[in-house]
Amino acid sequence: MKSLKFKVHGSGTNIEGSFDDVMKGVHKCVDKVHEMGCKRIDTTIRIQSRTDKFVSLEDSIRAVKSRL
């Protein structure tokens, strides 16, 4: 798994990377929380994917802020 970029915010965490790497990262996080003793975890995932161009987390944040 390659290094993933992430940004923690008030409603969750954004993770940037290839689909496979992001899913591996989520899996590792879930496994780690179970290892720490949590018997039940509720995970909600929203996926954004583009094929026309690369848009980074920072690009998305800038686009939202420019419209506020």
Instruction: Give me the pLDDT at residue 34, please.
Output: 97
Instruction: Give me the pLDDT at residue 3, please.
Output: 86
- Of how many residues is the chain composed? 68
DSSP run (H or E) holding 34: helix 19-35
- Taking only the tens of pLDDT, the chain with its 68 residues reads 678 999 999 999 999 999 999 999 999 999 999 999 999 999 999 998 889 999 898 998 899 999 99
Relative to beta strand 5-9, strand 12-16 is antiparallel
